Amino acid sequence: MIIEFENGRQSTVDQIRDLAARFGLAIEITSREGVYSTIHVIGDTREFATREGYLRDLPGVRATWRVTSDFKNIARTVRGADGKALRRERRVVEVAGPDGKQRRFGAGHHMFVVGPDSPQTLEQTLAIAHAVREVGERFGILDRMMLRGGAFKPRTRPTDWRGLGMKGIAMLDRAREETGLPYVTEVMDLNLVPEIGEHADMLQIGTRNAQNFDLLEAVGRFGKPVVLKRGFGNEVSEWFHAAEYIANQGDLDIVLCERGVKTLFTKGGYCRNQPDLNALSYARRQTILPIIFDPSHVTGDHRLVPENLLAACAHLADGSITECLHDEGFRREQLCDAGQAILIEHYAVVVEAVLAFEQHVAPRLTALLDTFEQRG
Amino acid sequence: MIIEFENGRQSTVDQIRDLAARFGLAIEITSREGVYSTIHVIGDTREFATREGYLRDLPGVRATWRVTSDFKNIARTVRGADGKALRRERRVVEVAGPDGKQRRFGAGHHMFVVGPDSPQTLEQTLAIAHAVREVGERFGILDRMMLRGGAFKPRTRPTDWRGLGMKGIAMLDRAREETGLPYVTEVMDLNLVPEIGEHADMLQIGTRNAQNFDLLEAVGRFGKPVVLKRGFGNEVSEWFHAAEYIANQGDLDIVLCERGVKTLFTKGGYCRNQPDLNALSYARRQTILPIIFDPSHVTGDHRLVPENLLAACAHLADGSITECLHDEGFRREQLCDAGQAILIEHYAVVVEAVLAFEQHVAPRLTALLDTFEQRG
Amino acid sequence: MIIEFENGRQSTVDQIRDLAARFGLAIEITSREGVYSTIHVIGDTREFATREGYLRDLPGVRATWRVTSDFKNIARTVRGADGKALRRERRVVEVAGPDGKQRRFGAGHHMFVVGPDSPQTLEQTLAIAHAVREVGERFGILDRMMLRGGAFKPRTRPTDWRGLGMKGIAMLDRAREETGLPYVTEVMDLNLVPEIGEHADMLQIGTRNAQNFDLLEAVGRFGKPVVLKRGFGNEVSEWFHAAEYIANQGDLDIVLCERGVKTLFTKGGYCRNQPDLNALSYARRQTILPIIFDPSHVTGDHRLVPENLLAACAHLADGSITECLHDEGFRREQLCDAGQAILIEHYAVVVEAVLAFEQHVAPRLTALLDTFEQRG
Amino acid sequence: MIIEFENGRQSTVDQIRDLAARFGLAIEITSREGVYSTIHVIGDTREFATREGYLRDLPGVRATWRVTSDFKNIARTVRGADGKALRRERRVVEVAGPDGKQRRFGAGHHMFVVGPDSPQTLEQTLAIAHAVREVGERFGILDRMMLRGGAFKPRTRPTDWRGLGMKGIAMLDRAREETGLPYVTEVMDLNLVPEIGEHADMLQIGTRNAQNFDLLEAVGRFGKPVVLKRGFGNEVSEWFHAAEYIANQGDLDIVLCERGVKTLFTKGGYCRNQPDLNALSYARRQTILPIIFDPSHVTGDHRLVPENLLAACAHLADGSITECLHDEGFRREQLCDAGQAILIEHYAVVVEAVLAFEQHVAPRLTALLDTFEQRG
C-alpha cells in the first residue's frame, strides 16, 4: 500500500509506522513533489489494508493507493480507492562503497559489475580487482563500478570445484579494501546469510536458487541489497514472485538480473542460454526495480560477451554483471567456466562502446519509449 | 567403484570397509550369483580408486569395476580394468511401514503413493488415509501403497498458503498410525531435515529445489529414502547429477520422480506441464534407480490423471505419486491445487486399470525391451 | 453451421443444399436419433449464417446451431440461437480398401497404419506389405490395417535421398493389389495432388508442410481422406486451424496425427522429439476429428516405439502410424531413417499388447473419461 | 567447390564452366587479390568433385578447395586438398533499384527494408512509400532503403484476410515507380514464383514455408535475390539447410532473416516471439550470407520495435525489415497485424539511432570481433 501525505506531518508518519509495525510491516518514505511525500508499506498488507479508512482520516493524508498488480511490493502501477491509477517511480538501489561513494542501480546510467568468476588466489583476485579499477579510472566511472566473485559456487556436478568459501570472501574483502570498490557475491546456504552478509556489500541469489523460498526470505530479512537472478526455467511471473518473497520481508533493495533461459534453440552450441531481453524491457515497464544483465552466463563464451552486453543496452538495462580475466595465460588455470571470462583489456573496449551508446544512441530510444509510455 | 568378491570372505569385506571409511566413503554389499557378492563403494571415489591394485590383491576379490558414466554412483554400466562392461542390476528402494511390511520401489510392480495435497485438518487427513487404505485392501495391494502429503509447501507466491508445518506432520503421523501406511513428505529448509526426517518414512525434494545443492546434501547425509523430483527446467543430466549430490553423501535410497517440464506447447492450458515420459525410460536404462511419475503436478487437472498415469505405465514406471480427495464437496475447501486431486473412487478405477495393465500388457512390453537391451 | 431436421423432408434438404451451393458450400447429412437428422454445412459459413432465420422457417427444421469455437468446422461444441450447447459426435473417417472393407478411424478401436519408411525396391515393398498382412491375419484385424510409405520425402538436407517419386507410388499400388490393404502416402508439391491422389487411398500432410496453406487447400479441394501431421513447432491451435484450411474446402475426412514437438528436453539424444500426448487428449475433447500417433518420428528409434505407442493408447489414440522393417539385415540398406523402423516381428508383439490394452485397460479409462465429460 | 586461378586465363574459365554445365552446375567468379580470382561452383558438387585432379591440372589453376562444412554452398570455411583452411569472404547480395542504385546487403552498413504490412489501397501504399522515401532523403540513405509489403499473406486462420494478391503487387509496382525504391514481397505458391518474380525486386520465403522444399527450389531456380526467414520452430542447422535448397539451384543471392522463435518464455504476452540474436551472430560466423532481423514479427508490438532493432545492431545485423504505418489513424483500418506497424515518424528516430550506433558504437564492436576471429 502507498500512502501520500503532506510533508511535515511527523505525527501522522509515526502513527502509520506504529500501525504497520503491529502488522509486522516495515515502511519506507519517499519524498515527492516538494509538498507531499509517500509512505510505502512493505510486506503482506492484506490485513493492514482493512484499516484504509482509518489511514485516510489521519491528518495530512491525501490519498491511499492499493497495488492492483499481483506483485504487491514491486509493481509500478497502484490504484486509489477512486480507481485512478498512479505510476510509481522506478526505484534506485544503492550500494555503499568503502570509498564513500554510493553505487546506484536504476539511476539512469549503466552500472558495471565485473570481476573474476571466483577468487582462487589472493594474487589473482587482487590483480583482477586492480585491473578493473584502472578501467574505471580511465573512463571516470569508478562510482559506477562494483566487483563480483563467487566464493560459494553452485555446481551441477557434486565433484566439481565449489569455490574457496569464507577464504574466498576474505580475498574479496581485501580486494575491496585495496580498490575502494564494493562487491557482490552469491549465497546459497541460508545459514550462511548473516556471516556472508556481514562481509559482502550486496548478496546474490543464483539461478538454481531462484525459487528456494527459505533462502529468499532469509536474505530479505537480512536486509542488504540483493541481485536476484532469474531461474533459467522460470517465467517472468515466477521471477517477480521470487522478488516478492524478498520484499515481503521488508527489503526492497532488489536488483533483478536476466541471465538467459533454456531453450532448444541454442542446441548446436552457439550460445549456452538464450537471452530474453524483452523480459528485461517488460520488467522495466511492470516493476519499480532496476534490472541488469549477465552476458557471461548467458553466453558461456567470452567472445560473445561484447555484442550481448550491447544488446542489453539497447533494451536499456540498468547495468551488467560480467566475469573477467586479467591475463589470457590464466585462462587454463581457471577452475570454473574458463571460457566465459572476458579479458579485461577487451572489457575496456566494451565499456567504451557502452558509454558511446549512452551518449549517442540511448537518448533517442528513451525519448521514443517515453512517448509510448505516455500514450499507454 | 564396484568390487566383486567370494562370499564368506569377511576379513576382505572388513578391510575394504576400513579403507573406504578412511576416505569418508560408505559401502553397500549386494549378494550376487550365490558364490560371489559385490561391494558398492558409495561417494566420491576418485582418491579411493588409486588403490585399485591393492583392492584387487585382497583375498577372494575377483574383479573391480569403475563407473564409466559421468554419474559415478547411480549409473547402470560399470567397466573393469580389462575394459569389459558390466550392467548393474537396478536398485530396489525399501521403505519400512509401521505395519511391518516393506514398500519396495523398483521391485517389478507399480507402487501407489497417494494422499492429500496437504493435511489441512486431522479429520480430512484421516478420512483420506482411510479411504486410501480401503482401496489397498480391496485390491490386495496394501504392501504396494504409501501415503503422501505436504506440510511444508513451496508456493510461487509468498502470500499463498504454505501448509501447516509440523502440525501437518503430526497429522500424517496419526494417519500412518491408524492405517499402517508409511508416508512421504517434502522438505525445503535444510535445517528441518532432521526434525521432519525423524517423523517421515521418506523425504521428498520438490521441483523448485532440484538444484538446491545444500539441501540435497543435507538429505543425503540424513540417509532416509528420498523421492527426488526433476526440476521443471532441468535436463535429465542435471537431474542425475542432483541424485549424485545425495548419493555422494552415502545415501543411495533415491527414487527419481518425473513431474513434467515446462514447454511452450501446453500454452492454451490443456495441460499444466508436458510429461517427458521418454526421460523416464531413459533413466531406467541409464541408472540403477527406481523411477516414478507424478500425474497430478504434470497435469494440474484431476480429469487428466487417469490417462497420464497409464501412459507412465506404458513407459514401465516403478510407481506413481498422486494427489487425491476423499469427497468432491471438499474440493472447494482445499487451500492449494484444488483442481488436481482425483476423487478416491476414481483413483480406485485407475488402480484397477494399472493392475490390468501389469497383468495383460506389461509382460509383452518387458519381453520386447529385454530383447532390445540384450542386442544393445 | 448445423441444421437439425425431421427425416423424410427431402425438399427441405434440397433447399438447404441449393442455398449452400450458392455460397460455395458443401453439405453433409448425418442421420441422428431415428426421427431427426442433421445437416452440417461445411466451409466458411459467415455469409451463409445471415440466412439463419430463413433456414429455421423451412418445413421440418427443428433447430439451427452455430459453432461457438474458433474452429468452425471441426469443433465438438456448437450452440443454438437459444444459447444451448450441443456436443457433436466425433467423426468416423473411412478409407475404402480394395478388399471391399472400410478402414474406420475414430470408430472406437485402434487403427494400425504400418509400412516401410519408403519404397526402395519392389521386392522390399512387397516383402513388408506381405509381412504386415500376415500380422493382420494372425490377429484377425485386417480391416483395421493400412499400409504407409513415402515416395516423395521431405528431407532437411537437399543432398539427401528424396524417395522414388511416382515409381515408389507404383510399388505401393502393387503392394495394395497383392495384399488388399489400402495405403497412405505424403504429398508435398501441390501440383502433384491430383496425380498422387488418384493412386493413393489417403494423403498425408507432413510436419514441415503443416502450415503450407496452398497445399492444405489443394488437398482439401481434392477431397480424399487426409492424415494431417502437427508441425513440430506448432501449438495445437495452429494445428486445428490447419485442419480448418482443409475442411473449409469441403473435406472433413481429416485424421489428426501427433508426431512430437521440439523441446530442449530431448537434448542428449534420448528421444528425437517430445510426444505431447495431452495434445492428443485435448484434440479428442475439442474436435470431432479422429487422432492418431506416430511413434516412429516421435522417437527416431525403433527400440522406443513399443512404449510410446502404448502410451498413446493410454491417451485413447484412434490409431498409430509406424515405420517397420521386414528383415533386420535390410536396416543398413535403408536410405532414410534406418534406426526408427521396427522389425515386423516386434511390431506383432506391440499389436498384441495394444489388443490386450483395448480389452482389459481401455474400458476402465473410457468409463472414467465419460464420467468427467458428463460433469463438464 | 572453390577453384582459384590466375586472372586472364579465359580458356580455363571456359573449360571449368563447360564441365560444371555438364553436371548441371552454375559457376560464379569472384575477383580476388588482383592476380588471382576464384570460381565458386554452385550446387550439388559431389559428382563434379571427382574431377578435382583434372581441374587442378588446368593451366593457371592454383588451388581447389572443398567445403568442409555440412553446408556446401554457404559455409565460410573451405578446405584444400592439403588440409589448409580458407575463410571465404562474406557475400554481398545486390538488389537493383529502378533509380539505378544497387541496394547492397552485407556491404558493412545497415540496410533499411520498410513498408506496410500489406498494400490495402493504392492511396495507403503510396502514402507509406513516399513517407519512407522522405526518411531516406532526410538521412541521405536512399541507396540503403527498400520497400516491403505482403500481397499474398500466410494466415494461421483460413477465414482471415489474405491480401490483395496480384492487385497488391501492382500497387507495390506503382510505389516503386514513384519512389525509385525496389521492393521485396512474399511468395507462397510455387506456381506463382515466375509471375510474382517478374514484378518484385526480391522474393521472400516466410517462416511457415521455411521447409517447403519445393517452394525453396522453385525460388532458387528463378534466380532472383531472396530473403529467407527462419522457421519459428527451426534450429539454425535446419535454416542453413533451407538456404542450401535455394543455393543448390544456382542462386546464392540469399539474405537470411531472423524473426524470432517460439519459446515458453514469452507466455504472458510481453513479446510474441523470442528473438534469437546469437543465431544471427552465429550465422555471420558460419556462413557467407548477409543476415537481417525482423523486429515487427519478433515482437508483434510497435512499441517494442526500437529496442529490438537496436539490439540486432549490437549483433551487427546487416539490416532489418520492419512494418510501418504512415498515419496513426490508419491503425484501426489495418486488416492484419495492426499492432506491430511502427509509425513512420517513430521509425525515423530509430533510423537516427541506428546511424548513431554505426558511427559511434559499431566500430568498437567490430574491432573486438575481428580480434576474436583472428585468434580463432
D154: domain CATH number is: 3.20.20.70
Are residues C11 and C60 both part of a single domain? yes
DSSP string, D117-157: SS--SHHHHHHHHHHHHHHHHHHT-GGGEEEE--SS---SS
Across all residues in chain A, what is the average pLDDT?
92
Verify whether the Cβ–Cβ distance B241 to A156 is below 8 Å. yes
Are residues A227 and A354 both part of a single domain? yes
Contacts of D229 in chain C (CB under 8 A): none
Contacts of A55 by beta carbon, 8 Å cutoff, 6+ apart: A3, A16, A19, A61, A64
Contacts of C267 in chain A (CB under 8 A): 264, 267
Which tens digits make up the pLDDT trace of A176-233?
A: 999 999 999 999 999 999 999 999 999 999 999 999 999 999 999 999 999 999 999 9
Domain assignment present for residue A106? The answer is yes
Verify whether the Cβ–Cβ distance A158 to B212 is below 8 Å. no
Q: Say what the pLDDT of residue D230 is.
A: 97
Q: What is the mean pLDDT of residues B23-30?
A: 86
Per DSSP, C358 falls in state: H
Contacts of A360 in chain D (CB under 8 A): 356-357, 359-361
C-alpha cell recorded at residue A99: 570509498
B residues 81-120 lying closer than 8 A (beta carbon) to A: none
CA distance C181 to B73: 52
Are residues C107 and C198 both part of a single domain? yes
- Contact between D301 and D340 under an 8 Å Cβ cutoff? The reply is yes
SS (H, E, C) A157-226: CCCCCCCCCHHHHHHHHHHHHHHCCCEEEECCCHHHHHHHHHHCCEEEECHHHCCCHHHHHHHHHHCCCE
End-to-end C-alpha distance for chain C, whole angstroms = 23
Place of cell 538480473: A257
Distance from CA of A112 to the nearest CA of D (A): 17
A26: domain CATH number is: 3.30.70.1140
Are residues D233 and D348 both part of a single domain? yes
Strand pairing class (C145-148; C183-186):
parallel
Q: What is the mean pLDDT of residues C110-129?
A: 97
What proportions of chain B, in percent to the nearest 5, are helix, strand and coil?
Answer: 45, 20, 35
What proportions of chain D, in percent to the nearest 5, are helix, strand and coil?
Answer: 45, 20, 35
Burial class (CB in 10 A: 0-12, 13-18, 19+), C235: buried
**Pick from A163-167, C75-79, C249-253: least confident:** C75-79
Place of cell 546506484: A104
- Contact between D228 and D256 under an 8 Å Cβ cutoff? The reply is yes
Burial class (CB in 10 A: 0-12, 13-18, 19+), C8: exposed
Amino acid in position C110: H
Residue-range definition of the domain harbouring residue B231: 93-367
CA distance B76 to C148: 38
Are residues B140 and B277 both part of a single domain? yes
Percent of chain A with pLDDT over 90: 71
Contacts of C365 in chain B (CB under 8 A): 306-307, 310, 353
Please list the alpha-helical segments (H only) found in chain A: 10-22, 52-56, 122-138, 166-179, 193-199, 213-222, 236-247, 277-286, 295-299, 305-314, 344-360, 362-375
Which tens digits make up the pLDDT trace of C193-204?
A: 999 999 999 999
Are residues A52 and A132 both part of a single domain? no
Domain assignment present for residue B350? The answer is yes
Are residues C158 and C296 both part of a single domain? yes
Best of B73, B191, B214, B265 to disrupt the A interface by mutation (most A CBs within 10 Å)? B214
Instruction: Calculate the CA dihedral of residues D38, D43, D48, D53 and round it to 10 degrees.
Output: 20
Strand pairing class (A202-205; B85-87):
unpaired
C-alpha cell recorded at residue B249: 553423501
Domain assignment present for residue A82? The answer is no
Q: Say what the pLDDT of residue B81 is.
A: 64
C-alpha cell recorded at residue D362: 559499431
CA distance D276 to B373: 40
Backbone CA torsion sign across B161, B163, B167, B171: positive
Are residues B140 and B212 both part of a single domain? yes
Verify whether the Cβ–Cβ distance D267 to B267 is below 8 Å. yes
Domain assignment present for residue A270? The answer is yes
Asked if pLDDT for residue B30 goes beyond 80, the answer is: no
B residues 262-321 lying closer than 8 A (beta carbon) to C: 263-268, 270-271, 274-279, 281-282, 299, 303-304, 306-308, 310-316
C-alpha cell recorded at residue B30: 549386494
Backbone CA torsion sign across A12, A14, A19, A23: positive
Which tens digits make up the pLDDT trace of A72-92?
A: 899 988 776 667 777 888 999
CA distance A346 to A367: 31
Length of chain D (residues): 376
Contacts of D53 by beta carbon, 8 Å cutoff, 6+ apart: none
Which tens digits make up the pLDDT trace of B286-337?
A: 999 999 999 999 999 999 999 999 999 999 999 999 999 999 888 888 888 8
Across all residues in chain C, what is the average pLDDT?
92
Q: Say what the pLDDT of residue A68 is.
A: 67
B residues 36-55 lying closer than 8 A (beta carbon) to A: 44, 46
Contacts of C59 by beta carbon, 8 Å cutoff, 6+ apart: C9, C11, C12
Q: Is B356 on the interface with C (CB under 8 A)?
A: yes
For chain B, the maximum distance between any two Cα atoms, rounded to a whole number of angstroms, is: 68
Domain assignment present for residue A271? The answer is yes
Domain assignment present for residue B374? The answer is no
∠C102-C106-C111 over CA atoms, to 5°? 65
pLDDT band at residue D337, thresholds of 50, 70 and 90? confident
Domain assignment present for residue A121? The answer is yes
CA distance C68 to D6: 72
Asked if pLDDT for residue B251 goes beyond 80, the answer is: yes
Q: Say what the pLDDT of residue D119 is.
A: 97
Length of chain C (residues): 376
CA distance A330 to B74: 35
Are residues D38 and D132 both part of a single domain? no
Which tens digits make up the pLDDT trace of C217-257?
A: 999 999 999 999 999 999 999 999 999 999 999 899 999 99
Asked if pLDDT for residue C67 goes beyond 80, the answer is: no
Q: Say what the pLDDT of residue B138 is.
A: 98
Are residues D125 and D251 both part of a single domain? yes
- Contact between A245 and A217 under an 8 Å Cβ cutoff? The reply is yes
Amino acid in position B292: I
Amino acid in position B267: K
Are residues D60 and D104 both part of a single domain? no
CA distance B143 to C351: 33
Please give the tally of structural domains in chain C. Answer: 2
Q: Say what the pLDDT of residue D356 is.
A: 98
Its ipTM equals: 0.92
Asked if pLDDT for residue B82 goes beyond 80, the answer is: no
Domain assignment present for residue C165? The answer is yes
Are residues D216 and D294 both part of a single domain? yes
Contacts of C340 by beta carbon, 8 Å cutoff, 6+ apart: C117, C296, C297, C299, C300, C301, C302, C305, C323
CA distance B26 to B37: 16
The residue of chain A with its CA nearest to that of D303 is: A372
Least Cα distance to C48 among C30, C27, C71 occurs for: C27
